[in-house]
Every structure is written in structure tokens, then in C-alpha cells.
Structure 1
Amino acid sequence: MDVHVLVADRYRLDESLGRGSMGEVWRATDQILGRPVAVKLLHADVPDRVGATDVERFRMEGRTAARLNHANVVAVYDFGAGDGMLHLVMELVEGWSLAQERAGRGILHPWEAAGIAAQMAAGLAAAHREGVIHRDIKPANVMLTAERTAKITDFGLAKFAHEAAMALTGTGKVVGSAAYLAPERALSRPAQPASDVYSLGCVLYELLTGRPPFLGPTALSVVQQHVDAAPVAPATLRVEIPVPLSDYVLRLLAKDPAQRPTAEEAAEWLAAPTEPPVAPLPRPQDAAPATAVLASVHLPGTEGLPTTTRSHAARSRRVSPKALLALGGAVVFAASAAIGMAMSSGDGDNAAPEPPPATSAQPTTEPATPSATPSPDDDHHGKDRGKGDGEDEKGEEKRREKQRDRGEDD
């Protein structure tokens, strides 16, 4: 198809955005409304594959998809058949496919992948409420915007594309995206909303681990595993994946459709803030065993008062600088209080009095040497000692005089 060609006399093709097995997607302009749109053109031979009845079914599917109005669904504006081709006019999403995201980044952070899957599930839930089943959920059919909004595309086209391919390859043969195919579809049973949920689980599995749940040398071998093989838990392949998330992916991949959550339930669970929260900072009273330390300081007059001790064996031994400063200040204050109370119990002097020197019952022959800085009590005791010594000297002098007098008499 050439640039600037008008489709249905309304949509001008401006630029080719990509080509797939069923057709080509173009950036186009709606000449009537003057807005950019995406136009998907099915290959010219597609109508020949399915016949008039299937073309009418395509119109019905397109009409149903056009009723969907959800932030996580690429809106369908128009559809039709003309000039020997089928076309689908859709919302133009400025972004890239989830398949391109995977190719560029590899595996995603677990909760980022869960967030994208939650948006996909929300879009599927909106479609299922309208009775629309996608039937071909895969990374290539999910668009991501720069704001990380996920949008599912190709609603109204997937069923038609599947039936067209079945007609081309023969009834009963399995075709399509084998890596994301639900077991019931592999067994040629009708698609149901749970089939989309299973495919969603396959996509999330790949975003988390970097690979689909089942691998094999051929599409048929992969399809067979969807039917009878148990997938390896994602957390086994990548230890960073939280176990609850890993277990929930396995629920999405249940073999029995009745055992899978609904798309609405999956959207609610995957969008919940289930990532482990950051551990809260310790409370001030838990920072250090300050109560126990203060209880060990003895203060006069506190006998009989209850003391409080707390066990901190199970708590962290790390003490913050602020806690150390507070603790040190408390201990200094307590010690100062103890000293002050002890001093207040004395006679009021600023200096603690020295004990008085012991006095003998017998008089001493040498006077006591006074202290360089005697206290009042020391000075008083010194005066008493000086007075006693003077009296002893006078008595001795009298005895000596009496002895001299006796000698003269003799």
C-alpha cells in the first residue's frame, strides 16, 4: 500500500508502523475528524481464506470491540471491508509493544512486571464484562506508553485472525501463539474469559523470568506441555521474585479454567501494594536501655522506691549519637544530684571538713603545728591545745624551784 492512499475515502495512510502475518499497521489521519489514528489493513487474500460469512463475523466482532471504553484497551473507532481489503481503525498509541520492551530490557523488576500485568488484567476484565474475549494475549498485542500505561490491542480482530489461519492450515490443526495458548484451546475447546487469564499468566511469567512457562523444539511440543506439564515456579528460576507473586502466577496457569482467578480478581491482586514495606525506625525509647542505666544510680532518700528495668536482648545494640548524648547528660545530672544532696546534709560549709586529729590523754611536750589553711574547727582545737601546754610549763617551773630550795636547805 502506498503512502497518502485513502482507505474508505476517509483515512489517509501516512506511515507504515509494522507488518505482521495478518496485515500491516499504518499511522493515518482521519480526514473528517482531523485526528491521528492507527489503521490495520488485512492482507488482500484474507477474505478469500474465510468467505463471506466470516467477513460478516469480523464486522460483528469489530462492532462489539468498538463498545469497549477503558484506559487499558486500545479503542476501536471503525472497521469495514472495501477495495478488496478489510481494515480496522484504532486509537493511535504513541509508544512501543511489550515485546519490544522485553527485547530491549530483558526481565523486569518483579513488581514492575506485576503492575503491567495488573493493567492488562483490568483491560481484560472490562472486555469480559462486555462479553468480548481476546483469544490472543501476547506481548506483541500489548502497547506501552511513555507514562508506562499498558494498552491491549487487536480486540475484535484476534478471533477473526485465528479462524482465518485455521481455514488456511486445515481444521483441527493448532496455530497461533503457542507459547501463550490456554490448555482448553489446545484441546480445540471454545475460548472463554479464563483462556485470556491463562495467556496473561504466560506473559507475566515471561516478564518475570525472561522466558515463557514452556519451551520446546516445535510449537506442537510446547502446546502439549500446556496441556499436561506443570510449569516451574518463577521464584525457582529467579530468587528475587517474591514467593507470593510466584505462587499467584501459578494460579493464573492452572490447567482447569475453573481454578483460575477472574481477570477482575487478578487485576485487584496484582495492583495491591504487596512488596515488603521498609522496616520502621526504632522508637526513641527503644534506642538504648536508658531506664536500666538510671536505675543503677543511687540517690539519697530514694530507698524503698520501685525501680524499672527493661530487657533489650532482642533489640538492636546500636545506639544513635543523639541517644548517647541524652544518656550521658542524664547520668551526669544524676551524679550531680547525688553529690549535691550529700553536701546539703553537712553543716553548710563549702568545703568538706577534715576529721579532727586524735588527742592523747597524756600531755605532749611539743606544741602541735597548725595547718596552713585551718578550718574553723581546726583553729578551735589548736587554741585549746596551746592553752593546756602553757599551764604544764608553769607547773614544771614551780617544781624545779622547790627542788632548788630543798637543795639549798640541805
Structure 2
Amino acid sequence: MLIAGRYQLQDPIGRGAMGEVWRAYDETLGRPVAVKLLLPQDSDPTAASRFRLEAQTAGRLHHPYVVGVLDFGAQEDRLFLVMELVDGDSLARVLAEAGPQPAERVARIASQAAAGLAAAHQQGIVHRDIKPANLLLDADGTLKIGDFGIARFLDDPAAALTATGQIVGTSLYLAPERALGQAAGPASDVYSLGCVLYQLLTGRPPFQADTPIAILHQHLDATPVPPRQLGAELPPAFESYLLGLLAKQPEHRPSAAQVADWFAAGAWQGRPEPLPATAPTPAAPTPAAPQPPRLGETGPATTYMLPSSPRTAARRRSRPGARDVLMRPRVVGTAAAVALFVAAMIVGMLWFSPDNTAAEGSKDSPSSTPTVGSTPTPSPSDASATPAAGTSPTPVAAKTSEKAKDEKRERRRDADDDDDGNDGDD
């Protein structure tokens, strides 16, 4: 059968809800293609509109991880869509034939699928039906996202072609917000991709039940079993990030671009990164002497005094403390007061001693000349000299005072003798 005078149908590839897919050959360009034909019983306006929507959405995308749309038209009242041929299997067939996949292969699939979704989201398109059957692998293992039949334009909500209260999609991979009847957004595609990755690792979807309604309730309320508990061999970082894709709240999931970058960078092989959280209130610190920081250590921010240079430390050691500065004047003042008191005592003793009386009497007496061997009495000017602080008085002054007293006694005796002689003469 020849479509549009150029696409020769060869072999059927698959059959979907709205149409059938054929392997064909483009006789004009000489290349193999895939042709999707709308089923005859689905020629109602709604089915035709969805078919056109798929052509429009996929036609806006040109990305290596998205199946490209090449042509669109009608043949004998049947709409057709010409796409690039993906010569490989869908992930649904891979799971059916091989079961769970190794973590490295799943990480590569995750990176490519997320990159394709990021390109669609950048164009304002939400796929709304990410599942293993719509993710294709070509001959060299490159992933391609196909079947945008129920996609939604974010800038044109009416283009979703979904009546109020209806849920369009596959229950095994449906995001919680969509189970509540809310509009699909980019985060909904990320959740669906997380469900697919979970199934690739474990061989089963994250939630299973007997009815679609029961499955939707699990998407809303149940917590998925960690893949490693089901026997999946993958690093803890991979498991932690995958469970983050299955977060119940859309705002808690990463974007498709972030998912693509994370897996492409090989972060899935490392340790799990903790989710950002509010820092706990620190407990009251126990009083302790501050310890200087060690080189190479990191920890809570602490303020330390910079270490002093050797010169600064020497100057600090050479400067007296405040107590020393206050004590020195007191010591010096006390010593000076004691010295002045001792000096005053000596001066007083010399000034009021009998030597001074004798000295005054000697001025009027002819016998004022001192006897041989006597020591001259020091003058007040000489006695007023202040001795050095801390030295004891010289005993010379005491000896001179005793001699002066003896001389005075002798003079008094001589005077008494003279008086007695005069009385006898009378």
C-alpha cells in the first residue's frame, strides 16, 4: 500500500489505542520510515484531533532523544503520521524478555529520557504518558521518546482534549497530582519516568494492585519499597535519587533537566546527597577553654584571635602589669616617708641635744676652746643632711654627745669650785 504517493508500507510494527504503526519506505528520499495510521473506527472528531495533536507536538521537537516527525496528512479519510524509524525494541519488550536491567544501563536510559523530556518541557509540551511502551531503543542503544498522542501544550490547556473529571494516562505510571484530577505539569512526567526506572531496576512497578483505582490510591498514600530491599543491585546514591523522583509533591521533585545532568555526570555512582533541610537549633555549648583551630579541619564557624608575632609577644612580656604599675609608687612613697622620718628624728636629736647648749655657752665663755682629744660638735647645718634611703645612722653623733656631756659636767664642777673659793675669801 502506497501512502501519499511516496510511503510504501512494508511490515506492521505495532498497534496502539488509536492507530497502527508500519515499517515503510520513503521512495522519494530513499530511506526507511515509520508510518502511523489512524484506525478506521477511530475517525471520530476527538480521535482525529488527538492524532493531529501528536503531529503538532512531535513536529515542534527536534532532539536526538525524541522520535522525529517527518510528515502528516490524510489517505482515503485516514490520517497518517510519518516518523523516523527506530530500528529496535521498546522498554516494554526489553522488560518482558530480559527482566531487570543493570544499574549502569538504567542510568544511561534515565539520562537520555530526561534530556528528551527537558527538550519537550522547554517547548511547553508535557508528554503525559511516559511508560515503557513509549520509550524506544534503537540499534545502538540510544533511547527515543515516542507517542505524543495525549500530550498537552502548557500554553494551550484546551489542547489536552481531556474532559473535566477524566484522567488520561496509564495508572501504573500516573503522578499523584494527576490521580487527584489536577492538570499535568513537567513534574508529572518526571514522576512517570521515576516509575519506569524503578521497574527497570526491580522488574516491577513501584505500586501494584488489582484495579486501577487501587493503584491510584497507592500513588497518593503509599511509600515505595526501596529497590535494594527487592534485590536490585545499585549504589545508595542511585536509590536515594530515584526515590526523590517519586516524591508525592511535585515541587519536591527535580526538573527533567536536573535529572539528565545528574545521571550524565555519573553522580549515581557516588554517595547519596542529603536533601536540603532546616539546620537544627544548636545545643547550649559547655563552657570550656577555647582551643586553637587545627590546619585542615573544618567545622562550625568559630572566631579566634590571630596569633601574635614574636616581637609583639616580647613587648607584652616586657611591659609590667597593671598591678605592678600601681604597686611601685606605693613602695617608693613608703620608703621615702620612712627615710624622711628617720632623718627628722636625727635632726631633732642633734638640735635639742646638750651639745647645742654648750656651743651657745662657749661663745660667751673664755673656756670655749675644746680640750685636747675632744671632737667638735656638728653644726645644725651638718646634722640636717638627709642620710641615704636604706642606710642606718652613724654612731659618731652619739659618741660626741657623751663627750660633750662629760665636758659640761667638768665645767660645772670647776665653776662650783670657784664659787666655793670666793665664799671662803669672804
Give the CA deviation at 1:272: 2.2
Distance 2:94 2:204 in 1: 14
- Counterpart of 1:158 in structure 2: which amino acid? I
Output aligned runs, 1:28-177, within 5 Å: 28-48=24-44, 50=46, 55-56=48-49, 58-155=51-148, 157-159=149-151, 172-174=165-167, 176-177=169-170
Distance 1:37 1:60 in 2: 20
Superposed CA deviations along residues 91-150 of structure 1, whole A, max 9, x for unmatched, are 001111111111111111112111111110011111111112111111111111221111
Distance 1:275 1:124 in 2: 19
Is 1:49–1:164's contact at 8 Å kept on the other side of the alignment? Answer: no
- Identify the residue that residue 179 of structure 1 maps to in structure 2: 172
* 1:20 aligned onto 2:16: yes
Structure 1 runs, 4 residues or longer, greater than 3 Å off: 54-58, 163-167, 173-176, 274-277
Give the CA deviation at 1:82: 4.1
Is 2:151–2:160's contact at 8 Å kept on the other side of the alignment? Answer: no
Superposed CA deviations along residues 58-109 of structure 1, whole A, max 9, x for unmatched, are 4354223212111111111122344222221110011111111111111111
Distance 2:133 2:224 in 1: 22
Provide the aligned C-alpha RMSD in A.
2.5
Residue 219 of structure 2 is aligned with which of 207, 215, 226? 226
Give the CA deviation at 1:164: 12
Residue 245 of structure 2 is aligned with which of 252, 256, 260? 252
Unmatched runs of 5 consecutive residues or more in structure 1 = 278-410
CA distance 1:83–1:276, change in 2 (3 Å): closer
Q: Give 1 or 2 for the bigger CA radius of gyration.
A: 2
Distance 1:276 1:117 in 2: 14
- Identify the residue that residue 415 of structure 2 maps to in structure 1: none
Output aligned runs, 1:251-330, within 5 Å: 251-274=244-267
- Identify the residue that residue 397 of structure 1 maps to in structure 2: none
Is 1:38–1:91's contact at 8 Å kept on the other side of the alignment? Answer: yes
Q: Taking structure 2 as the reference length, what is the TM-score of the superposition?
A: 0.58
Is 2:6–2:27's contact at 8 Å kept on the other side of the alignment? Answer: yes
CA distance 1:64–1:275, change in 2 (3 Å): closer
Unmatched runs of 5 consecutive residues or more in structure 2 = 153-157, 271-426
Distance 2:151 2:76 in 1: 23
* 1:8 aligned onto 2:4: yes
Distance 2:43 2:69 in 1: 20
CA distance 1:276–1:113, change in 2 (3 Å): closer
Q: Taking structure 1 as the reference length, what is the TM-score of the superposition?
A: 0.60
Distance 1:78 1:124 in 2: 22
User: Identity percentage over the alignment?
Assistant: 55
Residue 151 of structure 2: SS of its match in structure 1? helix
Is 1:233–1:246's contact at 8 Å kept on the other side of the alignment? Answer: yes
Residue 179 of structure 1: SS of its match in structure 2? helix
Is 2:238–2:269's contact at 8 Å kept on the other side of the alignment? Answer: no
Residue 126 of structure 2: SS of its match in structure 1? coil
